[in-house]
Amino acid sequence: RDEDSKHRKYSHHHNRDRDRDRDRDRDSRDRGRDRERSSRERSRSPDRRGRSRHSSRSPSPIQDGSKKAKRVIVKQRGKFDWENTEDTSQDMIPICHGQLLFGRGFYAGMDRREQKKQSAKIDRESKGQIEPKSLKSSYDPFDDMPVDRHWSEKEIHEMTSRDWRIFREDYNISYKGSRFPNPARNWEESGICPEILRAVQEAGYKKPTPIQMASIPLGLQQRDVIGIAGTGSGKTAAFVIPMLMYVSRLPKMTLERAIEGPYALVMAPTTELAQQIQEETVKLAKYMDINVLSLVAGEAIGGQSSKLLQGCEIVIATPGRLLHCLEQGYAVLHQCNYVVLDEGDRMIALGFEEQVIDALEAMPSSNMKPESEDVELEDRIYRTTYMFSATMPPAVERLAKKYLRNPVVVTIEEMSKRISQKVIMVDEEEKPKRLRRLLDELGEMSTIVFVNTKKQADKVSKQLHDMGIKVATIHGGKTQQKRQTNFQDFRSKRRSCLIATDVVGRGIDVPDVGHIVNYDMPSTVEMYIHRIGRTGRAGKSGAATTFLTLNDSEVFYDLKQLLVRTKNPVPPELARHEAAKVK
């Protein structure tokens, strides 16, 4: 056993020594290989070592403290070896391009004084070949958009959306609805036939009223219309003219067609109003072969029924008499597709609501317009309904909702509701003191003072300046830049008073003007309306003061009528004057 133990100990020591010797030999071999590799690296050529260094990752410039070498780029130089065919100076237009004129005595042989002299000469010669640019297309100094001219100086195809907006504001026209056409500026542009146009001119209607401007284009498109306008606004012609245009396109009324009833119907609350509408319709249909009949109380029903049987295109009736004729079989409405309810609120107030509904129900419902405007595409006749009313009580709204399809509501806002007008009779020499007193009362309120001439504008401006009042002045005699500066001073409230001729009175947008002063009365009431229309905009109230002298007698009558119609006070001197009594 002792021998076995010795033998194992010997074997253990022997194996340990053998492992140590093997590890030492391996380390010696590794060191030898490293020495051989190092010697091979040193034996390489310098160029090869340089390439080896570049192929490896270069150290950061920040780490080794050196700047990175920049790459040298050689730019190509231009060579001006153009061919003659590339010379574009041959296409130069002398009128549009300035010419280089060379002289002597200055740098590069260019005499600047001679250059300017010759250039001015060429400019003068070239201007004779070009038609001068019209001032009408110049940039407007009063707004940040090209306004060109006032809408009244433009053809209808030149009107912009801004022009139409100003037009509607000038005549207090407002719409509520969709897809409504632009109003008619005059009779010639209204789209009416020559026969009606001739009758209108013979009737003395020089210009359509605001309700006529707005309603006639709608009626020509056979749109349903609700007109909010009072008595005396011209609403009768506003619905009669489209009605006549509609009837003129239908077949001539014969005995066979007369059995089906009239083509159009107008209902009015009173006999007197119905007769007035009949007279107006006959007058406007003077050159048209159209028969008009009134069904009103006070006349024999037998005579009225016989006329119906003979045939008439248009019937004007009160609700009570019309319902009686329908119930007795004297009248039918089988082909009536144009209906007008005049003074609808008054008819309801007089208790005619049921009669009106019964008359509307007697018409064929199949001709009612579809609820959706997009469906209304067929080439067929639909019922057109007009309703005029000064107010819209609930009963009138119910009628409109049931019997009108997608109506356009046209509102003509009365001037008396927005602008209070005061006319003062004065002598010419009193005007400066009156104006000073008025401006002191108004304080910092934005005020426009209108005069008739450029000379008067400068005179009033100087008078106010001498009184210590800072004002801005605008008229056609000032440069565009000066007008722009003065107008911006007024707009930005740096000046509370603006002295102006009618260059501002016709269409220029001036926000928040509180007071208008007519230092000089204009020659027409239309211009007077345009002037005072600069205040009381966008639903706000305004005020206007006018200094009137005996030299303004040519407008006394029209001005008095306007003041009475708008329920503004008429000064006693104006009311008693002979020129205000007869035109």
Q: What is the pLDDT of residue 279?
A: 93
DSSP state for residue 200 in the 8-state scheme: H
Beta bridge partners, 515, equal 447, 543
Topology, domain 415-580: Rossmann fold (3.40.50)
- Measured distance CA(275)–CA(211) in Å, rounded: 21
Phi, psi of 473 (to 5 degrees): -125, 135
Topology, domain 158-412: Rossmann fold (3.40.50)
Q: What is the pLDDT of residue 317?
A: 93
Q: What is the pLDDT of residue 398?
A: 87
- Measured distance CA(73)–CA(191) in Å, rounded: 76
Q: What is the pLDDT of residue 89?
A: 54
Q: Which stretches does DSSP call E strand in 475-574?
A: 497-500, 515-518, 542-548
Confirm whether pTM is higher than 0.95. no
For residue 534, give the nearest of 474, 583, 582 by alpha carbon: 474
Q: What is the pLDDT of residue 110?
A: 56
Q: What is the pLDDT of residue 377?
A: 46
Beta bridge partners, 412, equal 173
Q: Within the chain, which residues score under 70 in pLDDT?
A: 1-19, 21, 23, 25-30, 32, 34, 36-117, 119-148, 230-232, 366-367, 369-380, 414-417, 503-511, 537-539
Q: What is the pLDDT of residue 144?
A: 43
**Burial bucket for residue 284 (CB in 10 Å: 0-12, 13-18, 19+):** buried
Q: Which two tokens stand for residue 399?
A: 């009628």
For residue 509, give the nearest of 162, 34, 236 by alpha carbon: 162
**Domain extent listing, the chain:** 158-412, 415-580
Q: Which two tokens stand for residue 339?
A: 């209906």
- Beta pairing, strands 497-500 & 314-317: unpaired
Alpha-helical segments (H) within 311-352: 319-328, 344-349
Q: What is the pLDDT of residue 135?
A: 42
